[in-house]
Amino acid sequence: MQYANRQIANLLHSDLNEVYLFHGTRKDRVNVLLHNGFDLRLAAMNFKSLWLGAGVYVADEANLSAQYTERNGVCTIFVMRVCLGDVFTTKTHMTDLKRPPCKSFCNGICTQHKDFFDSVVGEFPQREFVVYDDAKCYPEYVIQYQVVQSPPDHKGGYY
Ligand SMILES: [Zn+2]
């Protein structure tokens, strides 16, 4: 029975474009995120500006997410379950975004259309996906790892 529940829990909803993506974070944020989830009101707190505005940033390449961790000691990356829905793709920085663009591609904040994209992906060139609603992402797994540095007298051989 437990196995059956696990299978259901792990099922991704393709109709919502639900996927697993990575989110790297700093040590002091891990427990807060696990207990309280993501708080978009604090999204820009640790960054002067975010390329795609105030949202939760996730990536399909773990090495990009690793850049948001400490990079020494024990690092943490969440494996996030994310509902991307309809994705707006851009190669341009859109730092003022507070939600995805409307499907009529209005400039600025749209107040006249009702259909909006559900998420944004920036190709810079590595892909960063952003959702602007914390209900669309869930930190399902925690990966903790430590980068082992080569000793200073390392001569390039493997041992
Ligand atoms: Zn519009």
Domain holding 130: CATH number?
3.90.228.10
Q: Rounded to an integer, what distance in angstroms lies between the CA atom of residue 43 and that of residue 50?
A: 9
153 within a domain of the structure (yes/no): no
Host domain of residue 137: 12-146
Ligand 1 centroid vs 96 CA: distance in angstroms? 15
123 within a domain of the structure (yes/no): yes
Residue 158 has pLDDT above 50, yes or no: no
Ligand 1 centroid vs 133 CA: distance in angstroms? 19
Ligand 1 centroid vs 106 CA: distance in angstroms? 4
105 within a domain of the structure (yes/no): yes
Ligand 1 centroid vs 20 CA: distance in angstroms? 29
Helix (H, G, I), strand (E, B) or coil at 4: helix
Cross-sheet strand order for the sheet of 119-123: 87-90, 119-123, 127-131, 56-59, 18-25, 74-83, 137-146
155 within a domain of the structure (yes/no): no
Mean of the pLDDT values across residues 1-24?
76
Q: How many domains does the chain have?
A: 1
pLDDT band, very low/low/confident/very high, at 88 (cuts 50, 70, 90): very high
Mean of the pLDDT values across residues 65-90?
93
135 within a domain of the structure (yes/no): yes
Query: Which range in 7-21, 30-44, 81-95 is most confidently predicted, on average pLDDT?
Result: 81-95
The pTM of the full predicted model, rounded to 2 decimals, is 0.83
Mean of the pLDDT values across residues 117-140?
94
39 within a domain of the structure (yes/no): yes
Mean of the pLDDT values across residues 147-151?
73
Ligand 1 centroid vs 99 CA: distance in angstroms? 12
pLDDT score, position 155 = 53
1 within a domain of the structure (yes/no): no
44-to-18, 19, 63, 108, 154 alpha-carbon distances in Å:
25, 24, 21, 19, 40
158 within a domain of the structure (yes/no): no
